[in-house]
Amino acid sequence: MRIGIVGTGNMGRALGLGWARAGHEVLFGSRDVKKAKAVAADSFVSAQTGDFDAAAVFGDVILYTIRDYFPSSALKEPQALSGKIVIDCNNSAILGLDLPDPGNRPGIHFTTPIPSHAEELAADAPGARVVKAFNTMAAQVIELDRDELMRRRVSVFLCSDDAQAKSVVKELAEELGFIGVDCGGLERAQLVEGVGDFIRFQIIGMSLGPFATISVNVAPAR
């Protein structure tokens, strides 16, 4: 599968390199092509590089890692996303950490957006087959060895209005060692972004650290 990565930060690097190692063709897209090349150079397999638009054109699947910069402003040709599977892994900025808290409260505070980031992305990219996924674990978990990750049975919560797109992303998650958990349509991204805030509260606010994970499991019926 051809996968375009929009943004070469922690998530772009972790997921892009994971998929490249799993045998997918990956193109890392950055505003700074030197940064994209540095990320691709880490790979044990070859990966291509370019800008955000190159990633959008290249992929059958696009990983969209840019929070609050939607395609109509981040891409020169946002229509390139039409018909493509676009994974939204974004969570909102944490007040007191990523942004100053307007109320100057101590500690960190969360503002889970309604509509969700994923719904806003879908509204901004007509025809894109948006799937919410990968927002409820830290990049460090994604970078774990596949066998180690499989033992932990970590959920990737999946929401989309496109069942086929959701099943492709489930497979991409499971290739890395996660368990895909169907969470219904894109409307449910609001819930899943709330779960993203909850696990970040545990990781940062309760000091559990980046290897804290959250999963849904079903106990055997008695």
Ligand X SMILES: NC(=O)c1ccc[n+]([C@@H]2O[C@H](COP(=O)([O-])OP(=O)(O)OC[C@H]3O[C@@H](n4cnc5c(N)ncnc54)[C@H](OP(=O)(O)O)[C@@H]3O)[C@@H](O)[C@H]2O)c1
Judged by CB, which is closer to ligand X: 99, or 123? 99
Which of 65, 116, 160, 190 contacts ligand X by CB under 6 A? 65
CA geometry: angle 120, 125, 128, nearest 5 deg: 110
3-class secondary structure, 154: coil
Task: Based on the shown chain and the rule CB under 6 A, indicate whether residue 31 belongs to the binding site for ligand X.
Answer: yes
Task: Based on the shown chain and the rule CB under 6 A, indicate whether residue 42 belongs to the binding site for ligand X.
Answer: no
Q: How far is the CB of 181 from ligand X (least distance, A)?
A: 16
- Which bin fits 64, alpha (ψ -120 to 50), beta or left (φ > 0)? beta
Output DSSP code: residue 179.
Answer: E
Q: Write the interaction track for ligand X spanning residues 148-187; mark x where CB under 6 A is met and - where it is not.
A: ----------------------------------------
Which of 3, 11, 62, 159 contacts ligand X by CB under 6 A? 11
How many Cα atoms are found within 13 Å in the side-chain-facing hemisphere of 25?
Answer: 7
**Only segment of 8-16, 42-50, 167-175, 183-191 that touches ligand X (CB under 6 A):** 8-16
Output DSSP code: residue 114.
Answer: S
Angstrom distance (rounded) from CA 65 to CA 6: 6
**Only segment of 63-71, 76-84, 101-109, 161-169 that touches ligand X (CB under 6 A):** 63-71
Judged by CB, which is closer to ligand X: 12, or 177? 12
Sequence-distant (6+) residues with CB within 8 A of 189 are 88, 116, 117, 118, 119, 132, 159
Task: Based on the shown chain and the rule CB under 6 A, indicate whether residue 67 belongs to the binding site for ligand X.
Answer: yes
Residues in the chain: 222
Sequence-distant (6+) residues with CB within 8 A of 100 are none
Residue nearest to ligand X as judged by C-beta position: 9
Q: Which residues bind ligand X (CB under 6 A)?
A: 7-12, 30-32, 35, 65-67, 69, 74, 89-91, 135, 138-139
